[in-house]
A and B are shown apart, each in its own frame.
Chain A
Amino acid sequence: MPNFLRRWKWPALRLTVTVVVILGVFGLFLLLMGKDPIKAYRDTFAANVLNPRGLSELVVRMAPLLLTALAVAIPFRVGLINVGAEGQFMLGALLGSWAALNVQGLPQPLHLLLLILAGMVGGALWGAIPGLLRALGWINETITTLLLNYLAPLIVGYFVFGPWRAPELAMYPQTPEFPSTARFPSIAGTRLHLGFFLGLFFLAIYAYLISRSRWGLEMRAVGGNPEAARRLGIPVERWILIAMMVGGALAGLAGIAEVAAIHGRLKMAISPGYGFMGFLINWLAFANPIGILIMSFLVAFIASSGFTLQITQRLPYAAVNVLMALILFTVLAKPLAKGAQR
């Protein structure tokens, strides 16, 4: 067997089995609800993948997912569990919005660059808190990232209800519209925007660096055996902090991209849980770059399918939550299956 195939045999098989199990069990659920699963799947597939407009919307949804999945994947490589992509997403949106609203007179490319950087700084800072606490050996990052998720919307809320609230729309807690120089460009006729391409760009960079570069090898060494890494002179604590900050920065980028491309203003409801979906994607993909691409597509498809099911099958949107929960179960079952393999 060629080397290439051998390397991808197990991940590919794992992905396929996961997808089949999920579709099968959700099909049973649809049957229980008195629907025809085959028809439901065909409809959602036709509406979201075969239909060009549906497909473009699906890809629009992939943009934040690629980035939040990376935000989980990078810390995962050094052995950290970042549950906080959601909070990092919000803080990125917040700082990015500040740059969008308070800087004027810049040409669009510069203004965009500025707000992207501001968004990344916001996410990186939010990731640095748990990273630092963990590097100092004080607090487990899973707990802190999770708790910071509850804090982030409150901070955003303070600004959109308070100082940044748009005076002309006093009824809605939201900021004024971004100036046109702070709007992400998109492909004509669709909502497919710069954020998606940034997501692909960073995914490619991640794929290269993690497998080929010295930094990737050091990070994987830290994740594989921190004790040995420390004795080999690899700065374990530094990598923990860096991984959390880079992860946070990418989630922050997802946040500002979503605001600057889709909503055009900062408000409370900017994420239907993109951070958590990113977590799901990473655990399905096990930080494998190709896996992240495929699973982002799959999760985007599921999220979009919710609306289709609502319309064509008269199912509540909550049905999709059942599906997401099913995925979570499959994901959680995986370490066991992996253990059995050894």
Chain B
Amino acid sequence: MSSVDKAVVRLEGITKRFPGVLANDHVDFDLYPGEIHALLGENGAGKSTLVKILYGFYRADSGKIYVHGKQVQIRSPQEARRLGIGMVFQGFTLIPALTVAENVALFMAELPAFIRPRNLYRALKEACHRYDLDLDLRAPVWQLSVGQQQRVELLKLLLARARILIFDEPTKVLVPHEVEGLFRIFNELRDDGYSLIFITHKLREALTCADRITVMRQGRVVGTVTPEEASEEILVNMMFGEKLAEVTRPAEKAVIGEPILELQQICTRSIGTAPALVDINLKVHGGEIVGVAGVSGNGQRELGDVILGLLKITKGKKVFLGEDVTRWSPRQLVSAGIAFIPEEPLSMAVIPWFSTLENFALQDLQRFSLWAGLALDWARIKALFQQGFAKLGLSPLPLQARAATLSGGNLQRLVLARELSRPYHLIVGLYPTRGLDVRSANAVRQALLAAKAEGKGVLLISEDLNELFSLSDRILVMLHGRIVGEFRPEETDLSEIGKVMTGVGVVHA
């Protein structure tokens, strides 16, 4: 009984079933006052579902929730907030046109009809100062960086007097030094007696920051450990139940073929806050993986868009398989054999309400047309669907599942199967492993290496330097829309590339 009283949150036997998926299977979880509790697991392990149940976003099919030792029903986020539970979602819920202070005020539990700005600002400043949040309270939210917006979300929870704070993959959107800052804030919050749950699939983050780590796999809790007891290896074993081999490029020298894609002096106009590309020269040969490194927002996305024909080229020439394709439409380029594997497949590569099969069919509808498009050859699409997954050594997904219901890792498998089951010569990967768990990311990496072995060209845009080093034959570095360096991974190291990425290193020709 005493242990029940001590825990601020105790979940017992939580079970939640979605159509076709058992997201949580009798999950037990507890959280103590003044504790940082990491929830670790791969995509689709049920972490998000569990905290969303605690926050009243979903209702559990069965199981009990105790808050401060009392059994409660949490039917909505409002009820969760009344219990002092707050959550920072992956996608933020701020109103861009309002200032930081206004956004926070909107969220306060007892918002008076007229706001006394002075009191509000005093409270805000105190909180900012205490936790070193470094925010301009009068700045409109659209001007803030993602990291700052995340701090506004936290500020909202603090001012609304939440004592139990849930963070859903807070580090996913942050750059490394922002992650450190966030962990410092976590520590201070803990010292003030707040209880924190934070979701991650990165082992190192859980080990550096958490007091306890609960590992989930396929909707179940595998175990709870402290960082002292655990090591990366133990956690990997808990997450996957088996040893995962690291994916690296084969040791023997690659056979480099003919150039597949060539960009010559490409320039574009800048749109909005996106940088313009300036004099981009780039060659991708068959049997080669060319990595593109850079701090995100330095023109990598634009580079991908230029290759796909989505961004207008103002100067320069684009050659694909020896043909000038500078003015080709995206459709022509896709049909000519460019496969595209983006980050966040749900927003960039699939139609959320389409079934997996329909999404698969979108790869190149001209191929599947009967009677000039009056009908589609679904039998052939189904056959290719099975083949596409088999070729990559993946088990096929259910045909009729809606894309929106799939986990990020499974969506990326669908995109891989789709893009690589049609005739292609070049893969453009735009952060293809971002946000994926280790196993799904490895599936992507394996597919890229297989493509390379078949003599296809691969352009891999990534922020993960370890990934670039282990896969690429050459690494290009982008900064402010230019290519500022070219390296061979065996002749350089992380810190050299890191310096060039941030504009301090020596620039190679």
Instruction: Identify the A interface with B (CB < 8 A).
Output: 209, 212-215, 217-218, 220-221, 224-225, 227-235
Contacts and interface: CB of A to CB of B under 8 A. Distances in A.
B351 A229 contact: yes
B333 A233 contact: yes
Contact of A231 (B310, B358, B376): B310
B179 interface: no
B340 A221 contact: no
Contact of B352 (A224, A231, A232, A233): A224
A210 to B, nearest CB: 12
Given A214-B368, A224-B354, A225-B352, A232 B375 contact: no
Nearest to B375: A212
B331 A228 contact: no
B330 A233 contact: yes
Interface string B339-369: 0101000011111111000100111111011
A156 to B, nearest CB: 37
A233 B331 contact: yes
28 contacts: A212-B375, A212-B376, A213-B376, A214-B365, A214-B373, A214-B374, A214-B375, A217-B361, A217-B362, A217-B376, A220-B354, A221-B351, A221-B354, A224-B352, A224-B353, A229-B351, A230-B310, A231-B310, A231-B330, A231-B340, A231-B342, A231-B348, A232-B330, A232-B349, A232-B362, A233-B335, A233-B364, A235-B330
B157 interface: no
Nearest to B349: A228
Given A224-B352, A233-B329, A218 B365 contact: yes
B422 to A, nearest CB: 11
B377 to A, nearest CB: 10
Dominant secondary structure at the A interface: helix
B220 to A, nearest CB: 25
A235 B350 contact: no
Interface residues on B, range: 20 to 34
Nearest to A236: B330
Contacts of A230: 310, 330
A291 B274 CA distance: 44
A214 B377 CA distance: 10
B477 interface: no
A214 B376 contact: yes
B334 interface: yes
B100 interface: no
A235 B333 CA distance: 12
Contacts of B374: 209, 212-214
The 4 closest A-B pairs by CB, nearest first: A233-B334, A224-B351, A233-B331, A214-B373
Contacts of B333: 233
A147 to B, nearest CB: 25
Nearest to B369: A214
A224 B340 CA distance: 19
A227 B347 contact: yes
B373 A215 contact: yes
A188 B147 CA distance: 73
B374 to A, nearest CB: 5
B376 A228 contact: no
B95 to A, nearest CB: 18
Contacts of A235: 329-331
Contacts of B329: 233, 235
A224 B335 CA distance: 22
A227 B342 CA distance: 12
Contacts of A229: 351, 362
A231 B351 contact: no
B266 interface: no
Interface centre among A213, A220, A234 (most CB of B within 10 A): A213
Nearest to B329: A235
A213 B331 contact: no
B166 interface: no
Nearest to B372: A214
